[in-house]
Amino acid sequence: GGTGGHLFPGIALATGLQQKVADCMVMFIGTRRQLDRQTLAGYRFQRASISCTGLKGMGIGSRLRSLATLPGAVLEAREIIKDFGPDLVFGVGGYVTGPVLLAAKLQSVPTCIHEQNSVPGLANRLISRFVDKVFVSIPGEYSFPAQKIVVAGNPVREEIIAAAQEKERGDKDRLTVL
């Protein structure tokens, strides 16, 4: 959707891993969109991008063009994964998730996804059949394979937790609206 909604839980997970696991290397594979670059700036992550576009909410011509780019996107992701050599590929949704996780699965790299919403997005619904685990934020009924589901909550970035703690220590009479 271009809001970064899928990126922020991924950032929270990645920074948490870097704090807990010595020498943890993280790579984000995304698009060449400015939002992706700006959102990830300032973090100690490697970055790569693949060429693909979304399917949902597009006209038939755009959908066909998008479908035509998928094999190339999987090949691009395959090369990135081969070069990086990850122990795990973790998808957080969005149209980049499918080609990247499919490429990882084809190389026998363990895979999982995280669904932040109560109604799963198209990419996570489609790729859930192929991944090893599906982490969800909210308990509920999902179309994911039941044996793969783990209710894990939503990863939250450290700066959000710090802001909440600051509010708890701060002015109790001040109204804050989000």
Strand order in the sheet with 89-91: 89-91, 111-115, 133-136, 149-151
Average pLDDT over residues 10-15: 91
Cβ neighbours of residue 53 under 8 Å, at least 6 residues apart?
62, 65, 66, 69, 95
Q: What is the pTM of this model?
A: 0.83
pLDDT per position as a tens digit, 47-65: 999 988 777 767 788 878 8
Average pLDDT over residues 150-165: 80
Indicate the SS3 state at residue 115: strand
Q: How many Cβ atoms from other residues are within 10 Å of residue 104's Cβ?
A: 24
* Residue whose C-alpha is closest to residue 35's, from 68, 69, 57, 11: 11
Residue 130 has pLDDT above 90, yes or no: yes
